[in-house]
Structure 1
Amino acid sequence: MKTRFTIATVVLLLSSMFTLKAQTLESKYGLDSAQTVLNASLYVEMVKQKNYEEALPGWRYVYNNAPAYGKTAYIKGVTIMRGMLRKTKNPKYIDTLMMVYDQRIKYFGKDRKYPEGWILGRKGGDLFKYKKKHIPSVKEAYSILKKSIEMQQLKSEATVINYTMEASGILVKAGEIEPEEVIDNYLLFMDMAKKQIDAETKESKKENLDNARKNVEQIFFKAGVADCETLSNIFTAKFEANKDDMVLINKILRMLNRQECEDGALYAMVAERKYELEPNADAAHNLAKMFIKKKEFGKSKNYLEQAIELEEDAEIKADLHYKLASIQFLQGQLSASKSNALKAAKLKQNWGLPYILIGKTYASYSQKYGSSALDHKKVFWVAVDKFKKAKAIDPECAADAQKLISDYSKHFPGKEEAFFEGIKNGDVVKIGDWINETTKARLNE
């Protein structure tokens, strides 16, 4: 009671300072400025104490009689409704919570930092969170969340995207939306996540965004529309009926590529049709992936070479060179494999995989290099050099690189056999042939 008395006294003193002028419900202080300030002060104090029940009367006065007073009434209103809902489990507070969001949009929906789209995201999220077992409410929440994302675009919060994806998974299982809509959401959200991550400069925020992306993937897989057979069932008839629709063709290929369904009949039909309509780098790359999956490496190499010639994006081109280098390695074309791996590394800085591949090409050539057992073992020095470089520049492949370093270091020459050729630890040694590298001798005991 003392708190209430103190607040009331201060407010009444302050209210006497207001200049008398015509007031309406739409003006900041409503019809009675003194009552508005008094009730606002009372409910804010009660919210600080987490006494939501006692905060209700004061908050309700401001909400009803001075709706334009300030955003605080709506921020605290959400806190109060959530608190009352936790305490009473009474669903009426969900309805009031929705009204709070609606009225905030009416009076503060054009706020630059937290506009209507942002508020809708919070509204849809709360409706979904509190009523996810009630399908009509999930449908309503889903609609609100989709509108929020449409308005906010790349400013959409990760939680809003996750709730939307989760809601679509529930609705497709209930037969309320088509599987293709879930797929469209997934592709949109994954594209948004990539753009958000690329635009972000702080590593901590990048990590949070990446975690959100992984969560979207996990929710999508649980929706039951992600396996190759289901995708084929969804899209085969659509493709057969719309073989010239490039939007559909690209959507199908993106989805099948994401789920690694390149060896199916649908992928073959769609990839070949795209190449007929638009024989560009992407179309050639799709066919290359299909033939890689089928282990038809001769055909895949032809399409990879076409894709490399046509591709303009440096990072994608690096990936193409690496894939070509990997196939050449499998076919024993070690010098050509090294050449393409180097091109991949040059196009994409701090990428360790090409150097790991080069190290493997060297190691594979060891028995053919030189004429003695010592010559064969010398090659492992330059192989390990490449593994070390991969580890130094690329944390993502550091663990694999370290394992290769440990495995291949065991094959270094011993001190005794090197002694007869006058080689000591630390000597500079040239490894010739197509390898053409200079390294330092490292000898095992």
Structure 2
Amino acid sequence: MKTKILMLLLAAIFSTNTFAQKGKNVQTSATTENSSEQVTDSMCLIYISLFNEAAKNKQYADAIGPWTLAYNECPGANRVIYTRGREILQWKLSQAKDLTSYKEAFDELMAMYDKRIKYFGDDSRYPTPWILGVKALDYITYVKGDDLKKPAYEWLEQSINGLKENSELEVLRQFIMLSYNLYKANPEHAEKFIADYLKVNDILETQIANPEYKSNELANQIKQGLDVLFAQSGAADCQMLDKMYASKVTQNSTNLEFLNNVLSFYNRIGCIQSDVYFSAALSAHKIQPSTESANALAEMSYKKKDYSGAIKFYEQATQLANNNKEKATYQYKIAQIYYGDLKNYSRAREYALKSLEFNPNNGSAYLMIGIMYANSNIYDDPVLQKSVYWAAVDKFIKAKQVDNDPKIIEEANKLIQTYINYFPSKEDIFFHPQLEEGKSFFVGGWIGESTICRASN
């Protein structure tokens, strides 16, 4: 009702003025377009006022008539023709009853952006690259029957090339998503996908580093999401990553946030054996030691067979870790070094037990201890030597009691079945006075534990 009253009032107010000025050309803000029938400034003002007021109140059915007149007869009169036009045509799409009417509305929306570029493409605030970005986003949202959306991909690329660090975040995100889809559909797009990712990554890093940029947090979230997508895409290997980041890590050796992002990225892709990863970790650790940097340095030290260095950094990672599960993991890694590389069983057990203090449900630690017991030579007497298998099986049983991981349980059962066959026979036990089936027996040497004497089946 309000809109209809406004239409009558405006028509009455401007009727005399309209006819008095008939023949005057409309002055546009960009390019002048002469329509087949001359339209006066006053008539355009009426059209614009009517559709703008109606659209403002979301009365799009009332807005579409005067908007169409303004759009067709004075397309260069005011930018609002296109800002409100987008809303009106999106509404028109939502009202389409069949595919034919939907396609007509969709084509009209796309054509509207082309006309906006013609008349307002040189707008300082919303230039052609910006318009192409919005056009692409609407194409992605409303197109039917185009899975790859290559036209939108091309418009987004033009938009980003034009706006660079002034690009909208959603334009950057959708550009990489479409590039990824093109790569999945055609592996030959891999090189272009990598180039697209690098371009967008550089822009996002610039935006994040700019203290005056108001969407730093959102930009960082989008960057992390795109990093994950890129890491999981399989388009780039560790060698490619090193080429991408080697110089950047050197240039940003004092930028802790950048270095930590690189470490996280390399971790996600599984390139933690890289020298670039090690360099980033070392620089980050010098600035501010963290669990991640300490772990990275430990991994690289281990790769270089610097076992004492690896143990040192795993200890630091344990101290810096925020939760017991992480602490348990780092202590267990130290145990693995002592067990597998240094062959120091007593120290390996020490750290396996420390791991269990932080995570009592770590069945792997008990399996390790049990295997070390089974591989130990404690007694010269061959029967007493078999006592190590009792102690070993105790640990295997404990492993499946504390850990509900099916793989741990399966491995524990296999080890139990293997080593109970190495238990001494009833006859062997009978001829050793210090042994009695079902009674406690203290296993000496570095093991130093009491167990129960058992006979083999």
Could you say which TM-score interval applies, normalised by the shorter chain?
0.5 to 0.7
Larger radius of gyration, structure 1 or 2?
2
SS in 2 for 1:174: helix
Residues 1:276 and 2:294 aligned together = no
Distance, in Å, in 1 between the alignment partners of 2:412 and 2:224 is 31
**CA deviation string 1:58-82 (max 9, x = no partner):** xxxxxx99x79xxxx96x98xx88x
Distance, in Å, in 1 between the alignment partners of 2:336 and 2:280 is 25
Q: Of 386, 395, 399, which aligns to 2:395?
A: 386
SS in 2 for 1:443: coil
The equivalences for 1:141-290 within 5 A come to 147=170, 166-167=180-181, 173-174=191-192, 177-179=196-198, 181=200, 220-225=231-236, 227-290=237-300
Q: Of 349, 354, 363, which aligns to 1:352?
A: 363
Aligned residues of 1:379 and 1:431 also touching (Cα < 8 A): yes
Distance, in Å, in 1 between the alignment partners of 2:437 and 2:307 is 42
The equivalences for 1:17-416 within 5 A come to 92=103, 95=106, 130-132=146-148, 134=150, 136-137=152-153, 147=170, 166-167=180-181, 173-174=191-192, 177-179=196-198, 181=200, 220-225=231-236, 227-330=237-340, 331-365=342-376, 367=377, 369-392=378-401, 393-395=403-405, 396-416=407-427
Aligned residue number for residue 35 of structure 1: none
**CA deviation string 1:307-351 (max 9, x = no partner):** 334444322211111111111112122122112112212212422
SS in 2 for 1:332: coil
Scaled by the length of structure 2, the TM-score of the pair is 0.56
Q: CA deviation at 1:382?
A: 2.2
SS in 2 for 1:130: coil
Distance, in Å, in 2 between the alignment partners of 1:300 and 1:341 is 16
Q: CA deviation at 1:283?
A: 2.8
Distance, in Å, in 1 between the alignment partners of 2:362 and 2:322 is 19
Cα distance change on mapping 1:191 and 1:238 into 2, 3 Å? closer
Out of 129-138 and 272-281, give the one that drifted further. Answer: 129-138
Unaligned stretches of 5+ residues in structure 1: 1-20, 33-63, 100-120, 151-159, 193-215
Distance, in Å, in 2 between the alignment partners of 1:94 and 1:224 is 38
Distance, in Å, in 1 between the alignment partners of 2:330 and 2:2 is 72
Cα distance change on mapping 1:30 and 1:147 into 2, 3 Å? closer
Distance, in Å, in 1 between the alignment partners of 2:280 and 2:358 is 30
Cα distance change on mapping 1:358 and 1:125 into 2, 3 Å? farther
Residue identity opposite 2:284 in structure 1 = K
Aligned residue number for residue 42 of structure 1: none
Aligned residues of 2:266 and 2:277 also touching (Cα < 8 A): yes
Unaligned stretches of 5+ residues in structure 2: 5-53, 63-87, 111-136, 161-167, 206-219
Residue identity opposite 2:413 in structure 1 = Q
Aligned residues of 1:169 and 1:182 also touching (Cα < 8 A): no
Distance, in Å, in 2 between the alignment partners of 1:437 and 1:93 is 83
Aligned residues of 2:299 and 2:310 also touching (Cα < 8 A): yes
Cα distance change on mapping 1:23 and 1:288 into 2, 3 Å? same
SS in 2 for 1:350: coil
**CA deviation string 1:374-433 (max 9, x = no partner):** 222221222222223323323153333333333333322233322322656544433344
Cα distance change on mapping 1:140 and 1:352 into 2, 3 Å? farther
Aligned residues of 1:127 and 1:138 also touching (Cα < 8 A): no
**CA deviation string 1:218-270 (max 9, x = no partner):** x7444412x11001000012122222121221122223333443443323322
**CA deviation string 1:126-153 (max 9, x = no partner):** 8698331625348769x9x974999xxx
Residue identity opposite 2:152 in structure 1 = P
Distance, in Å, in 1 between the alignment partners of 2:144 and 2:386 is 64
Distance, in Å, in 2 between the alignment partners of 1:323 and 1:442 is 33
**CA deviation string 1:30-52 (max 9, x = no partner):** 989xxxxxxxxxxxxxxxxxxxx
Q: CA deviation at 1:276?
A: 2.2
SS in 2 for 1:244: coil
SS in 2 for 1:385: helix
SS in 1 for 2:442: strand
Cα distance change on mapping 1:438 and 1:267 into 2, 3 Å? same
SS in 1 for 2:451: strand
Distance, in Å, in 2 between the alignment partners of 1:190 and 1:326 is 36
Aligned residues of 1:127 and 1:137 also touching (Cα < 8 A): no
Distance, in Å, in 2 between the alignment partners of 1:135 and 1:405 is 63
Identical positions, percent? 24
